[in-house]
Amino acid sequence: MTACNTCHRNISPHMRYGYIYARVLFDETGRAVDFIHEEVNESYSRLTGLRGIIGKKATEVFPDLKRNNPDFLARHLRVAETGISDSLELYLEALDRWYDISIFSTDTDHFTAIIDDITARKVSEEGLRQSEQRFRTLFENHSACMMLLDAHSGEIIDTNEAAADFYGWSVDELRKMNILDIATVSADQINSNLRKMRTDRQKRFSFVHHLKNGGLRDVELFTSLINMNGRDVLYHIIHDNTEQVRLQAVSAMRIELLEMSSFSSAGVMLRAVLDRACRLTASPSGFVFFVTGDQRTLSLEACKNEGTKTTCNGQKHPSLFEKGSPWADVIRTGKPAIHNGQAAFMHCCRNNAESSQDNSELVVPVIRDNATVAILGIGGKAVDYVDKDIELLETLTNQAWDIIAKKIAEESRNLLHQKLQVSSKMELVGQLAAGIAHEINNPLNFILANEQNLENNFSELLSVIDTYRDGRDPLVGADREAGLLSGEDLDSLIGTIHASLEKTRTGVARIKEISQSMQKHAYRNASGNFSPFDINKAIEEIVVITKNECRSVAEISLDLAPLPPVPCDPSQINQVLLNLVMNSIHAIRTMARKEVGTITISTGCNNKAVSCSVQDDGPGIPEKLRERVFEPFFTTKEMGAGTGLGLSICHDIIVNRHRGNIRVVCPQKGGSVFTFSLPLKGAH
C-alpha cells in the first residue's frame, strides 16, 4: 500500500464522509469487470447501512447493480483504468438513497471513493422542481390574471394568457412593458406602492388599469414578494373588479341622493346622477331628457360635456326626432340602444367630432307604468359601448329615478303650496284693504286741513316780513285795521304754526306706521331662509293693520312676555299671526252682538320654544269640527266667505316648515284659543 493510501487510512476514521478503498478485478481479456471492497470507514457504513463488506465484490454487495445502476460500476472502473478522477450524483436502487460520489485513482488497479448522502437535498430539489412545475402550470393555465414584476423597477417579467386576454396585449408584448404602461397613476405613486409591496406593508391594492383598446378597468391586485434566482419578484394576482366597483358606486349614489333630497333640488340631483354615469362609463358627454305623457315631447333637464371650453349656456339642443332619429325607437319600444360610431344626438358642444368614437352613444329609457318617462344618454367613450354598460346605466337610473321623481313631486307640491300661501295672504290683504285705506285717509285728511291752516298762517307771517322790509315796525300801534299785528298776535301765530306742523308730523308717522306694517306682511321670503325674528314686534304691527277691522267689533289686548329672537321665516309667521287674528275678528262679528268682543294675544317661552296664543270670546268651534279645522278647504263660514285654506296653511307653516306645533281649544265659558309654538333651535 502506498504512502498516499496510508495517509487516507490515517484520516478516514475522522471523516464525516464515507470512504472506500477498492481493488479492480479484470476478466481473462484484461477488461475491468468488478471491484473488491478492501477498506471502508465507519462513516461509509453509517451513510450506506452496509457492514461486513470488506473482501466482497461490488456485485455481491449489490446483486442487481449491473441492471439497476450500470453507470455506478462503469464509472468506478473507468477511473482505475484511465487514472482520471470522476464525480457523480447517483441514486442507488438497492439502498433507495442518493449519493454524491467522488472517485480518485490512487494505486495501480485501485481507486478511492469519497461518498456523501445527498438524499435529503435531492428530495428537496425534487420537491422544489415539482413545486416550480406546478407553479408554472398553475401560472400559465389559470383563468385568473397573473403577472410577475421586478420588485424595484416595475418591469413585467412574465404574465399568463389570462392577463394577455384581459389587457389585450400578447404575452410577449407584456414582457417588454413596465407596470407604468398600464397604470393610471404617476411614477411617484407607482414607486411608493412598490415600496409597500416589497416591505409587506400592504398586500391588497385597488387600481384603474389601461387596456390596449383604450378602455379602463377597475382591478383589485393581490401581491406577494418571492425570490427567483436571487431576484426580488412581485407575484401579482389581478381580479377585474369593475362590475363590483360600479355596483358599489350605484349603491353609494342612491345613498347620496337620499341625503341630497333634503337640501338639493331635483335638477342638482339629476346632474349628480349624470356625472356618476359619465364617470363610471368613462364617457365625457351625457344628457337627460324628460318625456311627456304623450311620448312625443321632450325637455332637456341635464347636460354634461367634458374636455371642451364651451358649455351649453342655454343653447337650443337639436331635436331628437329630426331626420328620423333612432331615439324615437328607444322611447317607443322602451328598450336601450347603443349607437357606436353613429350618434343620433349631436351634443351642443360636440358638433365637430374628431373620431367615430366621439359620435358613439348609449341611451337607456326610464320606464314607469308602461311608459317612458325619461331617457338618459352618454357618449364619447374611447371604446365601443357594450351590454355591460347598458346593465350599469339601467341599474343606476332605476335606483335613482324613484328618489328624483319623489323630489320632483315634492317640489311641485311646494310650488303649489307657495301659490296657495300667496293667494291666502293676498286674500287677507284684500280684506284689510278697505280698512287700511280708511286708516290712512283719517290722518291724511287731517294733514290736508293743517296744510290749509298753515297756508293762511304763513300769509300773515309774510305780511309782517314785508313790513320789516319797508323799514316800518309792524308792531308799533298795532293797527289791526291796517293789517298790522300786536306782539301777542305774533306769538299766537308762531305757536299755531308749530302746533300744525306737529300734528302734521303725527299724521305722517301714522301713515308710515300703517304702510310699513302692511309692507312687512305683504313681503314674501322667496329664499325661505330662517332669520332671528321678534314675534312681539310682529304682534304690535298686526294690531296696527287690523285696527279698522276691529272697530266696533272687538278690542285687542296684549299680554306679551319678553321673548328671545326666534329662528323662523318672518313672512310665514306674520301670515300665521294675521290669519289667526282675522279669524277671531270674523268669529266675533258673526255673533252680531251690541257690545264689542275681546281678543287677547299673549306670548311666553321656556328654554326650548316660544309660544303665542290668540284667544277670542266668539262663538267657539263645535267639538265635532275641531279636529277638522286644519284640513285644506274646510271652513265653517258661509259659501263664498272663505276658501278654507287659511288654517291649513297655518298648520303647514308651523308644523311642516318650522317643526313646531299648533292646536285649538275652546274653553267652557266660550270662544276659542289658538296656540302655536316654535322651537328656539331652528328646525329649517
Per-residue 3-state assignment (H helix, E strand, C coil) for 355-378: CCHHHCEEEEEEEECCEEEEEEEE
Q: Which of 621, 535, 611 is nearest to 578 (CA)?
A: 535
Edge to edge, what strands does the sheet with 661-665 contain? Answer: 554-559, 597-605, 609-616, 672-679, 661-665
Output the pLDDT for position 238. Answer: 92
Tell me whether the CATH fold assigned to 142-240 matches the one assigned to 245-402. Answer: yes
Cα–Cα distance between 473 and 484 in angstroms, integer? 9
3-state secondary structure of 112: strand
- Non-local (6+) Cβ contacts of 14 within 8 A are none
3-state secondary structure of 471: coil
Cα distances from 173 to residues 149, 223, 232, 382, 403, in angstroms, run 14, 22, 22, 22, 48
pLDDT tens digit sequence for 208-218: 998 998 888 88
Whether the Cβ atoms of residue 200 and residue 235 lie closer than 8 Å to each other:
no
Cα distances from 405 to residues 131, 144, 368, 400, 642, in angstroms, run 60, 42, 11, 9, 34
Strand-pair partners of 148: 158, 235
Q: Which residue has the cell 313646531?
A: 660
Cα–Cα distance between 316 and 57 in angstroms, integer? 107
Output the pLDDT for position 472. Answer: 66
- Non-local (6+) Cβ contacts of 546 within 8 A are 432, 435, 556, 578, 581, 582, 585
Cα–Cα distance between 483 and 284 in angstroms, integer? 95
CATH assignment of 142-240? 3.30.450.20
Q: Domain residues of the chain, as ranges?
A: 3-123, 142-240, 245-402, 525-684
Cα–Cα distance between 272 and 263 in angstroms, integer? 14
Low-confidence ranges of the chain (pLDDT < 50): 1, 3-4, 7, 307-311, 313-320, 322-324, 347, 349-357, 480, 639-640, 684
pLDDT, averaged across the chain: 80
Output the pLDDT for position 245. Answer: 84
Angle at 73 between CA 110 and CA 20, to 5 degrees: 45
Output the pLDDT for position 682. Answer: 54
* Stretch (H or E) spanning 207: strand 204-210
3-state secondary structure of 379: strand
Cα–Cα distance between 235 and 142 in angstroms, integer? 14
Q: What homologous superfamily is domain 3-123 in, according to CATH? A: PAS domain (3.30.450.20)
Cα–Cα distance between 493 and 488 in angstroms, integer? 9
Cα–Cα distance between 165 and 217 in angstroms, integer? 13
Following DSSP, what letter does each residue of 296-353 receive, concatenated?
--EEEEEEEE-S-S---TTPPPPPTTTTS-THHHHHHH---EEETT--SS--TT-SS-
Q: Can you give the pTM of this predicted structure?
A: 0.49
CATH assignment of 525-684? 3.30.565.10
Angle at 65 between CA 59 and CA 68, to 5 degrees: 170
Cα 233 to the center of its chain, rounded Å: 38
DSSP structural state of residue 510:
H
Indicate the class that CATH gives domain 245-402.
alpha beta
Output the pLDDT for position 305. Answer: 77
Output the pLDDT for position 415. Answer: 75
Residue type, 327: W
368: left (phi over 0), alpha (psi -120 to 50) or beta: beta
- Non-local (6+) Cβ contacts of 458 within 8 A are 497
Whether the Cβ atoms of residue 27 and residue 132 lie closer than 8 Å to each other:
no
Q: Identify the burial level of 478 via C-beta atoms within 10 angstroms of its C-beta, where 0-12 means exposed, 13-18 middle and 19 or more buried.
A: middle
Cα 249 to the center of its chain, rounded Å: 9
Cα 435 to the center of its chain, rounded Å: 55
Q: Which residue has the cell 479492480?
A: 24
pLDDT tens digit sequence for 557-590: 999 999 999 999 888 888 899 889 988 988 898 8
